[in-house]
Chains A and B, each alone.
Chain A
């Protein structure tokens, strides 16, 4: 029972990380109509900038600041230089151009930091674990990630639904031309939204640092899963991104944790492990295929 609870928490933690990426991706797609494959690169940039700052200064606060700033600045530069030219283009051109950006980012990071993964230690203040249930102690750092993720979700909800900027974002997502016609500087709005998306991706990246290895290619791994989240939740919908992320996070984590064990009842150990891992990896894609077949627009479509 405690094991199940622990895995549920792990799934939740992975889910909120996915949400941070998916929120930006879905906003960018919903408002600007751009498929940004390079969103995962911003996650990587955040992770590397934070790891570098942590190694140089030893301060976690400065690392956070560095990660966020680097991701947001590079994200906005990316929008100004490349993506701005792609808004009116075919999805195909967008896929290719952002694929090219991935190559550029990955190679630049390889040149700057080498191929060896960087390891980041958990900040001392969040080190250790707490007793949640009798027999279950859980790392504080992971709990902190869950808390940050949920806070960001709440903040985004308030920003989108309660502020003037949020109103423009919502309007931009549904009636782009109309917003422009009413005299809103849509270009500024686009850059701001892109910066926000990049900031969230950077946040996810810097938080992932102490849990996973910081390495080239980390962005693509999570990017594909983020796309699954966005599509399951409904493209362009923040609410969809939130629930989609939690579903994907929980399903993926639980399948990985329990599938090999279940299969071991019917076959030998090593085969069960291999097949279990395979099924676990396929699980979320299967889930996405089923969701799309039943509801082609996703679970929470943005434009009904």
Chain B
């Protein structure tokens, strides 16, 4: 995959401007539920929750796509798997049965989330180990193929709803919190999202992240200095799948519903759009991209039934005329690099 088209900014040390911007963002995100409550727009809290969940998925995809140079067109698979982990565990719990004969069901968020991360990572390990033998277009297509396979697998799983999906009557429980409350659930997602972004920031800045960036820029050169690219790429792909699985589990809780739609290839496309819209290979880009896409979609749907006719040209303009997505646009507008 050629790499000269996009110049990516390296995760620099915490400069003062950056710190202030991050702090402002944190304050805004924490204050958001109270502000929209005061403005009499409580419906915005679920919307913001959706942005956060998609931001986790997109940021995870960005680790593979932006930092690792692996254009995965099948991340919806891990997203959907995470969702189904929650759905199937909940169904097993309600039926008081055993999944596969030995796994107990549960409705505890502290168990379902790690389970979703684990299963998502496992799926990413299997798919990644096979797919990474190819590169370029073949890699794009083989990840798509695996995702489609899983999509059809879940469609044909009649025991878990098949085409119709699986309803989760109650959100998973977390301590004594009332997870049904939108604001509470928003804060749960916010904390998890913050953790995910922190972990990703640490990964990108670590030796591992540097090697990954090196592989993206010149795989052959990294191999020549004695680093096995395959293992690093696979590790990044697995972490990326774990994050997507986590996001899927949160989404299943948010919607209280999972269906094969979560694994559909258009979902992979949407996640890619968020990454590209926000800025490939930037830390906060996926958050911007997720916010832009979710908000645009919501606003346009309220405006016209044919909202895709507006979204399409907007995407085209972003691709054709901006470099580095929204994040790049903001950095170029602002003095120096304000957000990266």
Most buried by B among A274, A279, A285: A285
Q: State which of B6, B158, B316 has its C-beta within 8 Å of the C-beta of A90.
A: B6
- Do residues B156 and A231 form an inter-chain contact, with CB atoms below 8 A? no
- Do residues B130 and A231 form an inter-chain contact, with CB atoms below 8 A? no
Q: Contacts A103-B311, A282-B153, A296-B138 given: A224-B265 contact, CB under 8 Å? A: yes
A265 interface contact, C-beta 8 A: no
Q: Provide the bound-state CA to CA distance between A299 and B98, in Å.
A: 44
- Do residues A90 and B1 form an inter-chain contact, with CB atoms below 8 A? yes
Q: Provide the bound-state CA to CA distance between A107 and B314, in Å.
A: 14
- Do residues A231 and B276 form an inter-chain contact, with CB atoms below 8 A? no
Q: Contacts A92-B65, A96-B272 given: A288-B153 contact, CB under 8 Å? A: no
Interface size on A, residues (CB 8 A): 50
B150 nearest in chain A by CB position: A282
Interface flags, A256-280, vs B, CB<8A=1, else 0:
0000000000000011001101110
- Do residues A100 and B319 form an inter-chain contact, with CB atoms below 8 A? yes
- Do residues B142 and A104 form an inter-chain contact, with CB atoms below 8 A? no
- Do residues B152 and A278 form an inter-chain contact, with CB atoms below 8 A? yes
Q: In terms of DSSP, what is the predominant structure of the interface of chain A?
A: helix
A154 interface contact, C-beta 8 A: no
A106 interface contact, C-beta 8 A: yes
Which B residues, 1 to 56, have Cβ-Cβ distances below 8 Å to chain A?
A: 1-3, 5-6
A180 interface contact, C-beta 8 A: no
Q: Provide the bound-state CA to CA distance between A111 and B280, in Å.
A: 33
- Do residues B315 and A85 form an inter-chain contact, with CB atoms below 8 A? no
Q: State which of A92, A103, A110 has its C-beta within 8 Å of the C-beta of B272.
A: A92
- Do residues B145 and A285 form an inter-chain contact, with CB atoms below 8 A? yes
A286 interface contact, C-beta 8 A: yes
Q: Tell me the smallest distance from the CB of B120 to a CB of chain A, in Å.
A: 19
Residues of B within 8 A of A285 (CB): 145-146, 148-149, 152
A129 interface contact, C-beta 8 A: no
B252 interface contact, C-beta 8 A: no
- Do residues A281 and B156 form an inter-chain contact, with CB atoms below 8 A? yes
A297 nearest in chain B by CB position: B138
- Do residues B144 and A224 form an inter-chain contact, with CB atoms below 8 A? yes
Q: Provide the bound-state CA to CA distance between A93 and B316, in Å.
A: 9
Residues of A within 8 A of B313 (CB): 100, 104
Q: State which of B155, B309, B318, B320 has its C-beta within 8 Å of the C-beta of A103.
A: B309
Q: Provide the bound-state CA to CA distance between A111 and B142, in Å.
A: 34
Q: Contacts A96-B273, A100-B313, A227-B141 given: A293-B133 contact, CB under 8 Å? A: yes
B79 interface contact, C-beta 8 A: no
Interface size on B, residues (CB 8 A): 48
Interface flags, A72-95, vs B, CB<8A=1, else 0:
000000000010011011111101
B301 interface contact, C-beta 8 A: no
Q: State which of B130, B142, B315 has its C-beta within 8 Å of the C-beta of A97.
A: B315
Residues of B within 8 A of A228 (CB): 141, 145
- Do residues A278 and B5 form an inter-chain contact, with CB atoms below 8 A? no
Q: Provide the bound-state CA to CA distance between A275 and B3, in Å.
A: 42
B73 interface contact, C-beta 8 A: yes
Q: Provide the bound-state CA to CA distance between A141 and B6, in Å.
A: 50
Which B residues, 126 to 175, have Cβ-Cβ distances below 8 Å to chain A?
A: 130, 133-134, 136-138, 140-142, 144-146, 148-149, 152-153, 155-158, 162
Q: Provide the bound-state CA to CA distance between A204 and B303, in Å.
A: 36
B308 interface contact, C-beta 8 A: yes
B334 interface contact, C-beta 8 A: no
Q: State which of A93, A99, A270 has its C-beta within 8 Å of the C-beta of B5.
A: A93
Q: Provide the bound-state CA to CA distance between A275 and B318, in Å.
A: 42
Residues of A within 8 A of B318 (CB): 96
Residues of B within 8 A of A296 (CB): 133-134, 138
A108 interface contact, C-beta 8 A: yes
- Do residues A279 and B265 form an inter-chain contact, with CB atoms below 8 A? no
A289 interface contact, C-beta 8 A: yes
B207 interface contact, C-beta 8 A: no
- Do residues B155 and A281 form an inter-chain contact, with CB atoms below 8 A? yes
Q: State which of A93, A103, A107, A277 has its C-beta within 8 Å of the C-beta of B156.
A: A277
Q: Tell me the smallest distance from the CB of A78 to a CB of chain B, in Å.
A: 11
Sample 20 A-B pairs with CB under 8 A, ordered by A number: A35-B137, A35-B140, A90-B6, A91-B1, A92-B6, A97-B316, A99-B272, A101-B312, A104-B312, A111-B309, A224-B148, A227-B141, A231-B145, A274-B158, A281-B155, A281-B156, A285-B145, A285-B149, A289-B146, A298-B138
Instruction: A86-B319, A90-B3, A100-B314 given; name 18 further pairs at CB < 8 Å.
Output: A92-B6, A93-B319, A96-B272, A96-B318, A103-B308, A227-B141, A231-B138, A231-B141, A231-B142, A235-B137, A274-B156, A274-B158, A274-B162, A278-B153, A285-B145, A286-B149, A289-B145, A289-B149
